[in-house]
Structure 1
Amino acid sequence: MEEAQSSRYSIHPCSTKMYRDLREVYWWSSMQRCIAKFVAKCPNCLQVKVEHQKPGGMAQNIDLLEWKWEMINMDFNTGLLLSRKQHDLIWMIVDRMTKSIHFYR
């Protein structure tokens, strides 16, 4: 089952598709149940399959900026070595439109 699930040509099929493919070559009692349990525990399928993902929401408009420095982000970079003036942090101001940055100590 692991080889059938992880083959580069199988693209991690659902349990029904995997059962149909394997029953042409193999068979054992409770085969369908074993395959369903195996596929349900596959980490790749749990992360990637659409049925395990949150559905997309409504699209939202992105506000376009018209002027530089109309919208900014600010952050502090702390824990730095002390400067000559005994400063150990930098205040960063970033313009969201141009991505230009001003640094203040």
Structure 2
Amino acid sequence: MKAPEDETLYRLADLYKVFGDPTRIRILYALSGGELCVCDIAELLGMTQSAISHQLRVLKQSALVKFRRDGKTVYYSLADAHVATILAQGLDHVQE
């Protein structure tokens, strides 16, 4: 099996770094149940909206979450089914 190009490998390593933070994992799990606004995520996780917004920015930059506006409220959700699959497979792996 031929290894991917270096640039692709660096992007993959950066993606896995994003998964290296437990808070971001908790946010992704919260969003796996459906879209939420920052205030709902903050309440679920017992954190400040500022802290959640910071982590959501990282998740958006890595294309793991997407968002939509409804008036002044911004709702976040998982970017696609791949994100849910990565979470599920990672959890399966660590629970074996």
Fold match (TM-score > 0.5): no
Interval of TM-score (by shorter of Structure 1 and Structure 2): 0.3 to 0.5
Which structure carries more relative contact order (alpha carbon 8 Å, separation 6+)?
Answer: 2
Q: Which structure is larger by alpha-carbon Rg, 1 or 2?
A: 1
